[in-house]
Amino acid sequence: MNSVVQQLITVAGVLLGAGATFAGAALTERSKWRRSQRSRWDDRRLVAYSEFAHALKHFSVVSQRMAAARGFPHAGQPISAEDGALLLADADSEKTLKWEMVLLLGSPEAVAAARVWNKAVWELSLVALGEEMSHADYLSAYEGTGHKRNAFYECARKDLGVRSGELPFGDGPWLLRSVQLTPGDVDVPATTGPL
């Protein structure tokens, strides 16, 4: 073989090797960058979901405490409408701010589930603000709100790639049990529930 051809083959081999090395390194770096970005957004979605859930739960607890002052079942200390109004307004503002991050970063399914849960909590909070509702309807709405919360968590977990299995749901001692209430009952036993 001619020495020029040998040199061209050698140069071509070196160029091909360098190109393959460069391409491999570029693909590896690109893959690392994508994983880093996914992880970064997953972290932010986790914060958005958890902060919204915390804010909505806080709003729910304040409204439940206000409803308790009206004789409805509760898990916390009753609080008067006057004392609770400012707390409820603050909780609503916090919830609204946290909602924006869910809208920005959440999956469509998680956003839809959060809307349904938020609406259920809001409807339940109307009792705290003086809307009339039977105790049986309140208990039913309370339980339904818990199921809507669970649906939100299922969507959020799916979006975040949590693969530890399904959350255990169902009837149990954590559901409200004091159903035999009449509108005149004042001493309502403290109960815990899904909200």
What does the H/E/C string look like for the chain?
A: CCHHHHHHHHHHHHHHHHHHHHHHHHHHHHHHHHHHHHHHHHHHHHHHHHHHHHHHHHHHHHHHHHHHHCCCCECCCCCCHHHHHHHHHHHHHHHHHHHHHHHHHCCHHHHHHHHHHHHHHHHHHHHHCCCCCCHHHHHHHHHHHHHHHHHHHHHHHHHHCCCCCCCCCCCCCCCCCCCCCCCCCCCCCECCCCC
Higher pLDDT, 73 or 37: 73
Residue 39: which pLDDT band, with cuts at 50, 70 and 90?
A: low
- Helices H / strands E in the chain, number of each: 4, 0
d(CA 56, CA 34): 32
Quick: pLDDT tens for 64-100: 999 988 888 877 788 988 889 999 999 999 999 999 9
Residue-wise pLDDT for 169-185, tens only, equals 654 334 443 433 344 44
On average, the pLDDT of the chain sits at 81
Q: Tell whether the model's pLDDT for residue 105 goes beyond 70.
A: yes
Lowest mean pLDDT among 19-23, 95-99, 141-145: 19-23
Higher pLDDT, 182 or 1: 1
CA–CA separation, 94 and 189 (whole Å): 30
- Looking up tokens 């079942």, which residue turns up? 73
For position 180, what pLDDT does the model report? 36
pLDDT-based confidence at residue 1 (cuts at 50, 70, 90): low
Domains in the chain and their CATH numbers?
Answer: 41-160 (1.20.120)
For residues 97-121, give the mean pLDDT. Answer: 96
Q: Which residue has the higher pLDDT, 59 or 187?
A: 59
